[in-house]
Amino acid sequence: MATMRKVVKCDVCESKTLVRIQIGWLDSHPVRFNCGRCGILISGTLILNQIKGTAFIEFENATEVGNEDSTNFYIEISGELLTEKLQTYKYENTLFPPFFTSGIDMMGENFGIFKKKTLQFLMKKENYWPQYRRINELWHRKNYNYLVSELKKYIPNKNFPLNNELHFLMAVHQMNIEFLSSVLDDQFFNKNSSLVMNEIISLFERSPKEFGKLIDYFSEFLHRYEEKIFECIEVFVEKFNYMIPVFGLNFYQDKSLISNSKGITTVAFNDLKRFYIDVYEVLTEMLELLIALNNLKHRGNFKTMKTKRRDVVTLEDYVKKNKGAKAEFLDGSETFDNLLYPNLNSKLRNAISHYTYRVDGINQIITYYPSGNEKMKDPPTMSLVEFVQSCWNIFQSLINFAELVYQTRKMTYLKQGLVPSFEHVFQVEKKSIGKKSINKNKIRRKNAKTSKRKNRKQKK
């Protein structure tokens, strides 16, 4: 893998940093690192010319200079991979292959999959995002005439019926999942989305009356939940490029080789801190749906809470609690917990929203003070890489939660007697045999079976 050397001089303290840049497969990516002497953030965008093999970075707060004489610091820069953190410059150290070279070896053949999935998502983001977004906007605004004409333009399966709200819901959902599919956890299709569907169907079959009450209780909220989830998806699309090296972590064959000492040069804490708390807020606002489903599954009544606190016996007690107390109920002990657990870090969320954290940009360490007391002893810390992982994971949880909202909403339409579609918007004919299509087919078959069962029941 080709690398390039550049020397940049800090505009404040004039110390020089040698940067070794990985010439990868992204046309451009953000660059962030802190000056090793005065600590200020040096940021920019790297633009790559893949054909000529040249790279250009425009820096803020630093200037490119000609030679390596009297260089003070050294850092590796990559848009795709983790790197060694900033260190004191020693000429001999800069002769070894940079860390990201070994990072590629550690991915093995997965490196090709990582590249393919990343480029696929970037291509969709670049070319189709506005169309996906406007379809969602029309759905949220219940602007059905335009929604139908837009869907007709963009869904490949022209047999997909668009006659009722259930069809619209299914089409929009299938489009959103298709858009995100290349960056969703492998577990999403194999585990989480089928878990949600199967559990909801079995709850409905086991206790239709109670499930009906749950649906009546939540039906007025579900539309709003979808709007909020979509706002988070929008921010994720915008922030994706900052997180690519952390997305890459999914592809290392032996993750234990990636230690906390590794750094990331595409992002600073400030680039993502709002994203973390926004997704956290949205998730905790919707949490009562997940809790109600747990209540129904484990206690047969959607309002009966598990024993956790004396002052929370019913769902009504629960909704009055603050977000931290609400998140406490998610402890991994009940079925639906696993969609989010353990990705809601309320301590981190509190510290960010109260601005009680300190960032050591040079060493990429974040220290946070959950109670707001910056004098506390032994406050928790995390590396910048771990923080970006938290952002990545909480987003995956949000998409798991979106499945819960989707399947519940589907049930509300079925309860109203709307007829579902057994088509898939992206399936034109039965020739695709990719892994994902197989799973989708399986899910569709199950869906069809249940819906037919349900239709029979409703007709009775």
The CA-atom distances, in angstroms, between 94 and each of 10, 171, 225, 415 are: 20, 53, 51, 66
Least separation in angstroms between CB 62 and Zn ion? 8
Judged by CB, which is closer to Zn ion: 88, or 253?
88
Q: How far is the CB of 61 from Zn ion (least distance, A)?
A: 8
End-to-end CA distance of the chain: 66
Comparing CB distances to Zn ion, the nearer of 268 and 394 is 268
Edge-to-edge strand list for the sheet holding 3-10:
62-65, 3-10, 16-22, 73-77, 87-88
For residue 211 the two structure tokens come to 């499930």
CB of 15 to Zn ion, least distance (A): 5
Residue type, 257: L
Provide the 10 A C-beta neighbour count for residue 454. 18
* Residue ranges in contact with Zn ion by CB under 5 A: 10, 12-13, 35, 37-38
Residue closer to Zn ion by CB (options 13, 113) is 13
Cβ within 8 Å of residue 118, ≥6 positions away: 26, 80, 182, 183, 244, 247, 248
CB-wise, 9 or 349, nearer to Zn ion?
9
Token code pair at residue 294: 């747990």
Cβ-based nearer residue to Zn ion, 13 or 365? 13
Q: Which amino acid is at 366?
A: I
What's the closest the beta carbon of residue 17 comes to Zn ion, in angstroms? 9
Nearer to Zn ion, 85 or 326 (CB): 85
Residue identified by tokens 């001999």 is: 92
Residues contacting 115, CB < 8 A, separation 6+: 25, 80
For 239, how many CA atoms within 13 A lie in the half-sphere containing its CB? 25
Q: Which is nearer to Zn ion, 73 or 406 (CB)?
A: 73
Min separation Cβ 33 and Zn ion, Å: 11
Question: Considering the complex, what minimum distance in angstroms separates the CB of residue 69 from Zn ion?
Answer: 18
Least Å distance, CB 16 to Zn ion, is 10
